[in-house]
Structure 1
Amino acid sequence: MQANSDPKPDGADAIRSVVVAGGGTAGWMAATYLAARLEGQGVKITVIESSAIGTVGVGEATVPAIRDFFKAIGLHDFDVLRASNGTPKLGIDFAGWAGENTRFFHPFGLYGLSSRGVPFHQYWLKLAHAGRRRDLADYSLCTEMARQGTFMLPVDNPVNELAVFDWAVHFDAARFAALLREVGQQRGIQLIDDVITHAVLDGQTGHIAQLETKAGLSVTGDLFIDCTGFRSMLLGETLDSKWVDWTGLLPCDRAVAMPCAAATAFDRPYTTSTAREAGWQWRIPLQHRVGNGYVYASSQLGDDEAAAVLRGSLEGAPLADPNFIRFGAGHRQSFWVGNCIGVGLAAGFLEPLESTAITLIQTALEKLVDLFPDRHCDPALAAEFNRATTLEYERIRDFIILHYHANRRHGQPLWDAMRAAPLPDKLAHKVALWRARGKLVRYEWEAFLDPSWLSMYAGFDMLPARHDPLADHFTQAQVEQALDHMREAIVAAAGHARPARDFVARLSGAAAPVRAA
C-alpha cells in the first residue's frame, strides 16, 4: 500500500504533535521509532535535548530483541555495529556467582530437543537422577560458540535442528544515540537544543500543554514522552507519579563505570558478569575499548573502595575517570499519566545484570504504538499500558532476584542475606514448581523464556527432586544415545562458525560479514 503523500489525520482529535523531553538513548529511540511507525500520518515529532546536560551512557549491552528495533527504524545490524563500534553478543558469562572459581553461561538459544511433548531438560534430569549427569551447556550452540570464541549469523535453513540461536549486540551507547539522532533528523524530527525549565498543565484536563525552556521557548504538543532520566521531570515531578521502591529486594544501589583498553583482540562474543564481595562487575567488549563497571550495595562498600576494586581489575589502561551512578531499583507507580508516557530511566530502573534497560525502552515504545491514543488519551489505554508494564518490570525483577537468591557465595554479608531473603510470591511459586518436578512456569509479560530460567537453575545446581515421569517412556540407554547425537549435532553446527575477531574485523572492511554455510 502506498503511503499518503499528503497526510491528513482522519479526525480533528488525532495526535498531530509528539514532544520528546530529553535525548540520549531513550529519547532518540523514542523519536526514531515513533517517526518510523507513524510515517505518513502527519505527526510532527520534536526532541528537546540539551547538549550541556550529560547522559548516564553506560547501557552498552542488549538482548536479541534490539535487532527488531533496528529493523523497525530502517537500520541494518551491520550499520549499527559499524557506527557504534559494536560487537556481537551470544549471552552472558557468570563468573563466581555459584561460588569461587565457578562459571556458567546464559545463552541466547535453546537447549537440546524435546521429544513426545516432553521438554529436553526433563531427559537431562532423568540422567542426572540416575547418576549420569551431563553438562547442560553441552547442548547449547550459543554456549559452544562462546567457549570457542567464535561467531556466525543465523540462517533460514540451519545445518541441523540444534543450529538455532539468536544474538544481540554490545555498543558504545553515546555513539548509538548519535546514530539515532542522525537517522531521526533525516526523517524530519525537529531537534531543539535547550534546557527544559518546567511544564505547563492544561487547567481543564490536567494534561501537559507545553514545555518552557531556558531560552524562552514554549513547546506545545498533543503527546509528551518523558526521557529526562532519573529526574523524571514530567512523569514524576510534574504529574506526581509516585516511586515504587524495590531496594529492599535488590539492595545494590550504586555503580561505578570505567572503560579501559583491551588486553587482546576481540575474542569473547559475550558479556561477563563477575561476582564481587559487595555486588558484581560487568565486562562489555567493544571494537575500540572494553566497558567495565562495578554494581554494588552502598551499605557494604564505599564509593572510593568500589572504584579501587574496579581499577585494580582492569585488563588494560583506564580510558576515563570513574563515573559514579546512584540509583534505586523500582519504577513509577504509573508509567502513563494523562498525555505523558515515561520511557527509560524516567519510568524505572533495574540494575543492568541482564541487559534489560534498553529492552524496557523498546517494549514501552511498542506498547505505546499498539495503544496509540488520540488527543483525549482515553484512560483505558493508559490503564492497560500501566498494567502490562508493571507486570514486565516485576517479571524482570524476579529473574534478577533469582540470581542473588541462588548464589553460593557463603560467608559474605550481602550474598548470605540475599540467599536468606524471602522471595516475591510469583517467584516463590516458580521456584517451588521447579524444585518439585522441574516444571518451568511462564507468566504473562515474561521477558525471559524457559531456556533463560533453565540456565540459571542448572548454573546454580538447583536440581529438582524428580523429573517428569513422561520422560521414562525412553530407557536410560536410549536417552544417553539421543543426547550423544545432540551433542554431535551441536559440535557440527559450531564447526561452521569462525573466530569472532574475524567477524568484527570484517565490519570495518568493505564487505559485509558473511553468513555461515
Structure 2
Amino acid sequence: MNKNIKKVVVVGGGTSGWMSAALLKKVLGNVVDIELVESDSIGIVGVGEATIPPIQHVNEVLGINEAEFMRETKATIKLAIKFENWRVKGEDYFHTFSAPGKSLAFCHFHHLWVRANQLGMDNDLWQHDINYHACLEGKFAKLQVKDPLFEVKYAYHFDSGLYGQYLRKISEKMGVKRTEGFIEEVNLNPANGHVQSLSLKGGGTIEGDLFIDCSGFRGLLINQKLGTGFDDWSHWLPCDRAIAVPSERHEKTAPYTRSIAHEAGWQWRIPLQHRNGNGLVYSSRYYSDDEAQHILLNNLDTKALGEPKLIKFKTGRTRKQWNKNVVAVGLSSGFLEPLESTSIYLVQAAVVRLLKFFPHAGIDDTQVAEYNRQSKLEYELIRDFIILHYYVTDRDDSQFWRDMQNLEVPKRLQDKIDLFKANGTITHEDLDIFWEASWVQVMLGQGLKPNDYHPLANQFSQDKLQEILSNMKKAKYAPVAQMPEHDQFIKMFCGG
C-alpha cells in the first residue's frame, strides 16, 4: 500500500548530492526529513566547473549571497563559450548567453542579418551582441537595465569540489542530516520491489521512503540494484573519455570558457580565481590515453599543478530517471559530455522537477510517467544540440571529423537543420533550455547559412537596413565601454 513520503535519503555527496539535499530541504522544510549518506573513501568526478545561467535560480532559492558564493568557490564570471577550430582549423565563434540584436514581431534579428549578408554588407552577427563585446574586452558588470535588450546574462566558472562543500555547509545548517558510511547492501521490499533500506559497512541501517541516487556513474540504486537499463548514445557522440588537469591561473582571467577542437575531440580551458581547469574530451577509438594526455599537456597555457586524471564514461541516459521509489540525479541518470556545460544544470532540473511532482501522499504511476517523459525529452534536446557541433562542420583533416559528418543524426535534429537551412526558421520546443539565439549562433558559427529569410526583413530599404545594423552595433557596445575589467569586478565584488 502507498504511504506518505516522510523521509528522503540522498545517496552520495558532491555537487549532485548536496544540491539535491539543499533544494529539497529548503523547499519542503519540515514536511520531510532529509538524510544524506556518503563515504569519504569514494571519490567524486568533480570536473563540472562551468555552468549556464539557470544556476542563479538555485542560488536565489537557497538564499545564497552571490559575493560569498563566489569567494567560497573561487568563481569567475562566464558570459559565453568560445569555440575554436570547430568549423575549420583557425576559425572561431562565440556562443554567448545573450541574444544578438533586437528581434521584430514574428521575425528574429538573424533574418535581418541573413538579408544583409546576402546583400554583401560587411556584417558580423556577433557585433550586435553585448556579451560578445564584453568577452573580447575582458570586461564585466552587473548592469541594472530596464530594457532586456541590454541585459548581460551570465553564469559562473567555479571549483566544483568547493561548490559541493559550500552546498553541504548550507544543507547542514538547514537541518539535513549527514551520515558517513560505505553502503554495503541495498535492501528491497519483497512486496513491491522498492528500496527499503541501506546497510552500511561496519553496521548501521538507513531506512527511507524515497531515495535520491547521486552515486555517480555507478548508479548504485537505479542501475546496479533496480536494473533500470541504459540508452547508449555513443553512436552519435563517440567521445568516451576525458583527461583533466589543473594549471596555474592566467594573469588575466577571461570571462568565457574556451572549447578548442582537436583531431579527435576537444579541449576545455576554464579560468578560476586560483587556477585554470583544463581537460581533453576524446574518443578512445581515435586516440590512445597516452596520445590524449600528450596532446592535453602540450596545449596548456600555464604550468600544470597536478597529475592528469582519466575519466571514462559512456554517453547516454538511464531509461527511467525515476524507477519505483528511486530518482536518479546527476551522473547516475546519464551523461552528456560537458561541451555546453549542462551537467550541473541537469542536476538542478532533476531536483526542481521532483519538487513539482513530489509524491507527498505516496508514489503515483502517473506522476512517475510524466516525470520520466519530461526528463527523457530534456536529455534528448540537449543531446541534439551537442551533436550539432560535431555534425555541421567543414573539417576533413582527420577520420574522426569525416566520420562525424556522415552521422545519421536523430530526425528531430535533422528536421531542425533542414528548416534553418531553407529559410532561417528555428523552432523552439518545450523543455529545450537552448533558445533560438543559441541555435542560431552555433548553426551560423559552424558554417550553416540559410538560403532564405523571413519576408519581414524586406520591409526596410538597403540603406535603412544598414543604418539599423550600424546603430545596433553601437548600442550594444556602448555599455561595455563603461564596464570594469573582469578581474577588477571580481576584486571589487568579492572583496580582497
TM score, norm. by length of structure 2: 0.98
Question: Quick one: structure 1 residues 148 and 241, their matched pair in 2 at CA, closer, same or farther if it must change by over 3 Å?
Answer: same
* Residues 223 and 375 in structure 1, CA contact (< 8 A), matched pair in contact too: no
Equivalent position of 2:4 in the other structure: 14
Equivalent position of 2:335 in the other structure: 349
| CA–CA separation in structure 1 for the residues paired with 2:355 and 2:343 | 19
Equivalent position of 1:3 in the other structure: none
1:376 Cα deviation after fit: 3.0
| CA–CA separation in structure 2 for the residues paired with 1:115 and 1:61 | 32
Q: 2:118 aligned with 1:129, yes or no? A: yes
* Residues 233 and 315 in structure 2, CA contact (< 8 A), matched pair in contact too: yes
Matched length: 495
Q: SS in structure 2 opposite 1:39?
A: helix
* Residues 5 and 362 in structure 2, CA contact (< 8 A), matched pair in contact too: no
Equivalent position of 2:95 in the other structure: 106
Measured against aligned partners, the alpha-carbon deviations of 1:254-282 in whole angstroms (never above 9, x if no partner) come to: 0000000024232x100000001110000
Q: 2:52 aligns with which of 35, 38, 63?
A: 63
Q: 2:24 aligned with 1:34, yes or no? A: yes
Equivalent position of 1:371 in the other structure: 357
Measured against aligned partners, the alpha-carbon deviations of 1:58-97 in whole angstroms (never above 9, x if no partner) come to: 1000000001101111212222111010100001000111
Q: 2:208 aligns with which of 221, 237, 241?
A: 221
Q: SS in structure 2 opposite 1:185?
A: helix
| CA–CA separation in structure 1 for the residues paired with 2:85 and 2:268 | 12
Equivalent position of 2:441 in the other structure: 455
1:470 Cα deviation after fit: 2.1
Equivalent position of 1:319 in the other structure: 305
Equivalent position of 2:179 in the other structure: 192
Paired residue type of 1:31: A
* Residues 82 and 507 in structure 1, CA contact (< 8 A), matched pair in contact too: no
| CA–CA separation in structure 2 for the residues paired with 1:347 and 1:147 | 37
Equivalent position of 1:466 in the other structure: 452
1:375 Cα deviation after fit: 5.5
| CA–CA separation in structure 2 for the residues paired with 1:214 and 1:297 | 37
Q: 2:238 aligned with 1:251, yes or no? A: yes
Q: 2:393 aligned with 1:404, yes or no? A: no
1:215 Cα deviation after fit: 2.4
| CA–CA separation in structure 1 for the residues paired with 2:380 and 2:38 | 30
Q: 2:254 aligned with 1:274, yes or no? A: no
Q: SS in structure 2 opposite 1:498?
A: coil
1:129 Cα deviation after fit: 1.4
Q: 2:103 aligned with 1:117, yes or no? A: no
| CA–CA separation in structure 2 for the residues paired with 1:279 and 1:499 | 32
Paired residue type of 1:509: G
| CA–CA separation in structure 2 for the residues paired with 1:118 and 1:449 | 14
1:367 Cα deviation after fit: 0.4
Question: Quick one: structure 1 residues 332 and 353, their matched pair in 2 at CA, closer, same or farther if it must change by over 3 Å?
Answer: same
Q: 2:159 aligned with 1:172, yes or no? A: yes
1:339 Cα deviation after fit: 0.9
| CA–CA separation in structure 2 for the residues paired with 1:468 and 1:509 | 49
Q: Percent identity?
A: 38
1:508 Cα deviation after fit: 4.3
Equivalent position of 1:146 in the other structure: 135
Measured against aligned partners, the alpha-carbon deviations of 1:171-220 in whole angstroms (never above 9, x if no partner) come to: 00110000011111111111111111121111112111101111211100
Q: SS in structure 2 opposite 1:369?
A: helix
Following TM superposition, the consecutive aligned residue runs of length 4 or more in structure 1 with deviations greater than 2 angstroms are none
1:456 Cα deviation after fit: 0.7
Paired residue type of 1:253: D
| CA–CA separation in structure 2 for the residues paired with 1:205 and 1:167 | 46
Listed as ranges, the matches of 1:381-400 within 5 Å are 381-400=367-386
* Residues 197 and 212 in structure 1, CA contact (< 8 A), matched pair in contact too: yes
| CA–CA separation in structure 2 for the residues paired with 1:175 and 1:279 | 28
* Residues 151 and 500 in structure 1, CA contact (< 8 A), matched pair in contact too: yes
| CA–CA separation in structure 2 for the residues paired with 1:422 and 1:131 | 34
Q: Which stretch of the first structure deviates more once superposed, 113-122 or 446-455?
A: 113-122
Equivalent position of 1:513 in the other structure: none
Alignment RMSD (CA, Å): 1.3
Measured against aligned partners, the alpha-carbon deviations of 1:319-368 in whole angstroms (never above 9, x if no partner) come to: 11110000010000100011110000000000000000000000000100
1:392 Cα deviation after fit: 0.4
| CA–CA separation in structure 1 for the residues paired with 2:340 and 2:85 | 16
| CA–CA separation in structure 1 for the residues paired with 2:198 and 2:173 | 24
Equivalent position of 1:9 in the other structure: none
* Residues 259 and 320 in structure 1, CA contact (< 8 A), matched pair in contact too: yes
* Residues 184 and 201 in structure 2, CA contact (< 8 A), matched pair in contact too: yes
Q: SS in structure 2 opposite 1:283?
A: strand
* Residues 89 and 167 in structure 1, CA contact (< 8 A), matched pair in contact too: yes
| CA–CA separation in structure 1 for the residues paired with 2:482 and 2:5 | 50
* Residues 353 and 400 in structure 1, CA contact (< 8 A), matched pair in contact too: yes
Q: 2:35 aligned with 1:46, yes or no? A: yes
Q: Which stretch of the first structure deviates more once superposed, 231-240 or 196-205?
A: 196-205
Paired residue type of 2:5: I
Paired residue type of 1:226: D
Equivalent position of 1:6 in the other structure: none
1:133 Cα deviation after fit: 4.8
| CA–CA separation in structure 2 for the residues paired with 1:19 and 1:156 | 43
| CA–CA separation in structure 1 for the residues paired with 2:143 and 2:332 | 35
Q: SS in structure 1 opposite 2:378?
A: helix
| CA–CA separation in structure 2 for the residues paired with 1:97 and 1:116 | 33
| CA–CA separation in structure 2 for the residues paired with 1:487 and 1:328 | 43
1:223 Cα deviation after fit: 0.6
* Residues 67 and 494 in structure 2, CA contact (< 8 A), matched pair in contact too: no
TM score, norm. by length of structure 1: 0.94
Q: 1:97 aligns with which of 86, 92, 96?
A: 86
1:461 Cα deviation after fit: 2.4
Question: Quick one: structure 1 residues 394 and 373, their matched pair in 2 at CA, closer, same or farther if it must change by over 3 Å?
Answer: same
Equivalent position of 2:220 in the other structure: 233
Q: 1:211 aligns with which of 182, 192, 198?
A: 198
| CA–CA separation in structure 2 for the residues paired with 1:234 and 1:378 | 20
Q: SS in structure 2 opposite 1:151?
A: coil
| CA–CA separation in structure 2 for the residues paired with 1:389 and 1:37 | 21
| CA–CA separation in structure 1 for the residues paired with 2:122 and 2:52 | 30
| CA–CA separation in structure 2 for the residues paired with 1:299 and 1:40 | 51
